[in-house]
């Protein structure tokens, strides 16, 4: 740096104990630079898939096409729609989705319209609601499963730690679904049994509550 009169050097070591950790510029007010692995995750039917893990910075928009193709490999068909952040709405990604007849939830490119119909406003609002699950997965992974506090020192150990977090999250989701189905089944049986032996009018008053 002194010889070439530079203020930065490529692939510089920022941690002696963890040389694989790279600085990732995020531009956030609280933490403009973050250190750690950067992941790309997709969610389908409540199940989170860890599609990419890298210690180097990358542009998230590059992952949309591979993630859609991975969806087809998993389920045998393309998704009906994709709900993602604005950064994924590049022209190349939109062109790919249009060729596959996949609906994209992002706003159209260009200057925003001054006269937006009520139907378009409701559609945009619904697309924002449909994108909540992926944001919720990251929040849940950080708050409940300590995704933002990976204490492993070795690269392979840290990657395994991150992978197991998503495995456990998916197991919790599946367990909750199984419990819900069991509860619904038991409740339905008790409901029918009560209807047969009890007072139907009383049941109809209890169910809405």
pLDDT at 67: 92
Q: Looking at the whole model, is its pTM more than 0.85?
A: no
pLDDT at 126: 76
pLDDT at 100: 92
pLDDT at 25: 79
CA 36, CA 148: separation in Å to the nearest integer?
9
| Domain residue extents for the chain | 23-176
CA 186, CA 165: separation in Å to the nearest integer?
31
- The CATH code that applies to domain 23-176 is 3.30.420
CA 36, CA 127: separation in Å to the nearest integer?
30
pLDDT at 203: 39
Q: In sequence order, what are the residues at sequence separation of 6 or more whose Cβ sits closer than 8 angstroms to the Cβ of residue 66?
A: 51, 52
CA 41, CA 50: separation in Å to the nearest integer?
5
| Secondary-structure percent of the chain, ordered helix, strand, coil, rounded to 5 | 50, 10, 40
Return per-residue pLDDT of the chain as tens, 209 residues: 888 888 877 777 888 888 888 888 777 777 788 888 888 898 888 889 999 999 988 888 899 999 999 999 998 999 888 888 888 888 999 999 999 998 887 777 767 677 767 777 777 777 777 777 888 888 888 888 888 888 888 999 999 999 999 999 999 988 888 777 766 666 655 544 544 444 443 333 333 33
pLDDT at 156: 93
Please check whether residue 172 is in contact with residue 47, taking contact to mean a CB–CB distance below 8 angstroms.
Answer: no
Total residue length of the chain: 209
């Amino acid at each position: 740096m002194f010889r070439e009169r530079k203020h930065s050097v490529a692939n510089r070591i920022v941690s002696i104990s963890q040389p694989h950790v790279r600085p990732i510029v995020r531009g956030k007010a609280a933490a403009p630079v973050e250190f750690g692995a950067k992941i790309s995750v997709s969610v389908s039917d409540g199940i989170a898939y860890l599609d990419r893990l890298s210690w180097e910075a990358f542009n998230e928009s590059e992952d949309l096409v591979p993630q859609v193709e991975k969806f087809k490999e998993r389920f045998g068909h393309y998704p009906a729609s994709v709900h993602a952040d604005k950064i994924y709405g590049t022209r190349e990604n939109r062109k790919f989705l249009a060729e596959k007849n996949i609906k994209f939830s992002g706003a159209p490119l260009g200057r925003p319209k001054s006269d937006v119909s009520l139907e378009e406003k409701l559609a945009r609002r619904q697309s924002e609601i449909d994108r909540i699950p992926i944001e919720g997965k990251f929040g849940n992974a950080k708050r409940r499963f300590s995704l933002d506090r990976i204490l492993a020192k070795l690269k392979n150990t840290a990657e395994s730690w991150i992978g197991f977090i998503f495995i456990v999250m998916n197991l919790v989701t599946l367990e909750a679904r199984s419990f819900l189905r069991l509860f619904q089944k038991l409740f339905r049986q008790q409901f029918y049994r009560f209807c047969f032996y009890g007072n139907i009018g009383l049941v109809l008053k209890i169910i809405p509550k």
